[in-house]
Chains A and B, each alone.
Chain A
Amino acid sequence: MDLEMKNIFKSFGANLVLDDVSFSLSGGQIKALLGENGAGKSTLMNILGGVLGADGGKILIDGSEVSFSSPKESLDMKIAFIHQELNLINDLPIYENLFIGREIRKKSGFLDHEKMISETRRVFDEMALSLDPEVMVRDLDASYKQIVEISRAMLMDARIVIMDEPTTSLTENEIERVFALMRHLKSMGVGIIFISHKLNEVMEICDSYAVLRDGHMIREGKINETDTRTLASLMVGHEVVEGLRAESHDNGKIIMEAEHLTDSKHFKDISFNIREGEIVGFTGLLGDGRSELFQSIFGASLPYSGSLRIDGNEERIHSTQQAVRLGIGYVPRNRKENGIVKDLDILSNGSLVTLSMRKKGLFLDEAAIESDFANAKEKLSIKMGEDSDPITSLSGGNQQKVVLAKWLSAKPRILILDNPTQGVDVGAKEEIYQIITSLAESGVAIAVLSSESKEIIRVCSRCYVMYHGRILKELRGDELNEKTIMQYATGVVE
């Protein structure tokens, strides 16, 4: 089945989001749709998925014009949109999730479970999957959830599948599993649109690409005629200049030192130190315990045993407010759930940490709060409208900078950054790395938690690799390369 989107226009109010965009895809092809946040990718795909209507242009399937005004009508044309946030119900088994809303009934009106299960088996066989349809979705790992979503599309006989950043929350092994399935679908003649920020994955899995920037289609082409550097500069509009990694600080004062930290289930016998002005990485695969470790250190999680010294003083942190008083800052992973407060405006989000420190008598010192934020805004070059605009009006990268801004105003001496560039586009990513580096230069001790080894190599002067809740190895200097990191992260080398 061939798809063609021709001369699509779309605006929100006065804001032209898609300006004469054309896009095509043929069956049995995997095409990457690239662009920074706000480039118009989601809008274009939402039009294809029937979520939004276009202001102009047409959509052709196999040469004949179609139009749809709801996701259901789009699905009837065999186009399936798999959103980044999966639409699965954890407390139902796989097969019921597959048939939700279109349950097969017996004549009596009751559900025909046998038939639904056997239909699910048929689809799984077609896709060469060995999954038990009766397993609860809750018990599946992230990649299988993704796969269940794809199976649902296949059950509806979809010929075009849109996948919006399917690999964001997956580990390397899980990504491989999803990729294998994508290749299988391709061999069945299904066309796939793959939206991702991870250019290495794009190079690995896609046949062709299309780059959107500021609502314009910049270039379409074949993957084997390009490279990641070219793609990145096409997306950003200029060359992405990579700054230098921070120098190592072997003689700085040790600010945070942990010995034998152990909790009941996530981490065991953890010892590490971070020096003044140093950026130390903590990496590993999903489930290695690094996030839980630092949540505990920040006082937000379960208690632990072992010793933690801040500036040489033994500290036991029971609450997040105590951690803040000790000069620790913490930018958590999953910005939407843990980082931003969606009902508050930009200024309130950016001053959440320091509110209780900026007082004039009983009341808030609003002038001080505003000037704090104005400083941070300038330092981080946050692109935003008014202070009173909702935080959700910002792009992912700028939201992340606001989360950083709230900590900068507190002037932390130790900063924990968990997945600092999650859901942030290429250009903003590099900006955040430079911010991290310059913070370290001003003397802040920084822990960067990330499963992207590239990120660790880019910003850290040394790193601890974790595996199943333990630190397997400390890497520095030449050892700090993707291959070595991966060997320890996967537990290949003990």
Chain B
Amino acid sequence: MEKRVEKFNFISWFRNMWVTHPLFSTFCALVLMIILQTVALGFDQGSFSRWFSIWSRNWINILRNNATIGIISLGMTFVIITGGIDLAVGSTLVAIGAIVMVFIDSSATGLLSAIGITGAPAFIIGIIMGLIAGLILGEFTGILITIGKLPPFIATLGMMKICRSVTQQCMQTVNPQVPRSFTQIANLSIGGQMFMPIIYWLLIAFIMYWISKHTAFGRHVFAVGSNERASRLSGINTERVKRAVYAIMGLLVGCAAVLQVSRIGAMDYANAGSGYEMDAIAAVIVGGTSMAGGRGSISGTILGVLIIAVMNNLLNLIGVPPFLREAFKGFIVIAAVLLQKKEKA
């Protein structure tokens, strides 16, 4: 057998990747930013191991701080692939957070401590109640959209207003305390590093990836987003797919809420989670998911979350004033979509 060895031509390979893979340019942007960020962090530490420990600590911080948005973005990816949108995630996060806190509170005001349940059993019940609350809120949104035939924008805009406002009113007189041990869920230190949020995020990302690629439901999500009519005429229960997508979104917001409460140990009902919906949507869009539905990927979304996170870190390191950072976020979203657009000439 004759084997033709073609000389590997980096430039033509690069050009080909750039044109054929819409996410390749995004990936290049991430690599470039990581290089810049590494440079900004500085090399002049004398010893490699010291430099590496600072570098990795910085990375763990980046990932840990973005785990909440990361988890929400995973659910948002499914929602946007079906052609929908969820503006309510920041508010439902607060509502679910409040519910979890009421259950886990070990002081006299706590719901469970009043009947003598505290510690781990209370935590488990609290977390389960939080996740169920997320599912119910998501399912309700899904019902508004499918049975109520509301546009997702309207339905979730309404939910966004309702959830935060009701939570703020209800929590005016109640002031639940988060027990110190509960904060271990997110802040457990392994070898001096707090990995836990990253592990939760990666675990959920892996599950969502598998669902999107290897289950009938995952493929139905894409089909419904691309052509709902054709999907329905193929015997797919399109309404159930859409309801499930919002329910999953709710469940993931539940996970994010538990993580947030545990990581911070408190919750500011007026401001916590505000802007999360836009951050998540931005990450999903930067990750190459089409707002028109039908196209997108979980891996792209992870790339999107990372790119925004690394950029924030970089801006921080080089001392860009905080007010300007949002502008860079806006710039990234626009640039990413412009770069990905080239497939349609």
Binding site for B on A (CB under 8 A): 298, 300, 319-321, 323-324, 330, 332, 337-344, 348, 352-353, 355-356, 358-359, 362-364, 366, 406, 410
Contact = CB atoms under 8 A, between A and B. Distances in A.
A355 B233 contact: no
B25 interface: no
Contacts of A344: 219, 222-223, 226, 294
A330 B230 CA distance: 11
B296 to A, nearest CB: 9
A107 B30 CA distance: 54
A341 B234 CA distance: 10
B219 A364 contact: yes
A359 B235 contact: no
B233 A298 contact: yes
B235 A341 contact: no
A363 B294 contact: no
B45 to A, nearest CB: 47
B184 interface: no
B216 A338 contact: no
Contacts of B294: 341-344
Contact of A355 (B219, B232, B237): B219
A330 B233 contact: yes
A356 B216 contact: yes
A323 B233 CA distance: 10
B160 to A, nearest CB: 29
Contact of B229 (A330, A338, A353, A356): A338
23 contacts: A298-B233, A300-B232, A319-B237, A320-B233, A330-B233, A332-B233, A337-B229, A340-B230, A341-B222, A341-B227, A341-B230, A341-B294, A342-B226, A343-B225, A343-B227, A343-B294, A348-B219, A348-B222, A352-B223, A352-B236, A355-B219, A364-B215, A366-B214
B295 interface: yes
A364 B214 contact: yes
Given A343-B294, A344-B222, A362 B236 contact: no
B164 interface: no
A320 B234 contact: yes
Which residue, of A330, A356, A358, has the highest number of chain B Cβ atoms within 10 A? A356
Contacts, number: 79
A366 B210 CA distance: 13
A257 B62 CA distance: 65
Interface in B223-253: 223, 225-227, 229-237
B215 A362 contact: yes
Chain B, interface size: which category?
20 to 34
B220 interface: yes
Give the one of A323, A330, A355 with max B CB within 10 A: A355
Chain A CB within 10 Å — which of B215, B216, B232, B237 has the most?
A: B216
Contacts of B235: 320-321, 323-324, 353, 410
Chain B interface secondary structure, helix, strand, loop or mixed? helix
Nearest to A319: B237
Contact of A338 (B219, B220, B233, B237): B233
Interface in B282-299: 294-295
A353 B220 CA distance: 10
B237 to A, nearest CB: 5
Contacts of B215: 362-364
Residue among A332, A364, A406, A410 having the largest count of chain B Cβ atoms under 10 Å: A364
Nearest to A331: B233
A341 B232 contact: no
B4 to A, nearest CB: 19
A337 B219 contact: no
A148 to B, nearest CB: 27
Given A300-B232, A319-B237, A353-B234, A342 B219 contact: no
Nearest to B225: A343
A340 B228 CA distance: 10
A340 B223 contact: no
A362 B232 CA distance: 22
Interface of B: 210, 214-216, 219-220, 222-223, 225-227, 229-237, 294-295
Given A343-B294, A348-B222, A352-B234, 6 more contacts: A320-B234, A321-B236, A337-B229, A338-B233, A344-B222, A363-B214
B234 to A, nearest CB: 4
B223 A406 contact: no
Contacts of A366: 214
Nearest to B223: A341
A341 B295 CA distance: 11
Given A320-B236, A362-B215, A364-B214, A341 B220 contact: no
A55 to B, nearest CB: 16
A406 B233 CA distance: 11
Contacts of A342: 226-227, 294
The 6 closest A-B pairs by CB, nearest first: A324-B235, A343-B294, A343-B226, A355-B216, A356-B216, A352-B234
Contact of A321 (B223, B225, B229, B237): B237
A355 B224 CA distance: 13
A352 B214 CA distance: 14
A300 B232 CA distance: 8
Contacts of B234: 320, 352-353, 406
A331 to B, nearest CB: 9
A341 B231 contact: yes
A184 B211 CA distance: 60
Contacts of A358: 216
A389 to B, nearest CB: 13
Nearest to A295: B233
A113 B225 CA distance: 41
Q: Which of A323, A330, A344, A348 has the most CB of B within 10 A?
A: A344
Contacts of B236: 320-321, 352, 356
A231 B334 CA distance: 53
A355 B215 CA distance: 8
A339 B230 contact: yes
Nearest to A332: B233
A319 B222 CA distance: 20
Contacts of A332: 230, 233
Nearest to B214: A363
Nearest to B210: A363
Contacts of B233: 298, 300, 320, 330, 332, 338-339
B231 A352 contact: yes
Contacts of B230: 332, 337-341, 352
Nearest to A363: B214
A320 B294 CA distance: 21
Nearest to B227: A341
A344 B219 CA distance: 9
Contacts of A356: 216, 220, 236
Centre residue among A298, A319, A410 by max chain B CB count within 10 A = A319
Contacts of B219: 344, 348, 352, 355, 364
Contact of A340 (B216, B222, B227): B227
Contact of A343 (B214, B220, B295): B295
A341 B216 contact: no
B237 A348 contact: no
Contacts of A330: 233
A343 B229 contact: no
A320 B231 CA distance: 10
A330 B219 CA distance: 20
B19 to A, nearest CB: 12
Nearest to B237: A321
Contact of B216 (A298, A343, A364, A410): A364
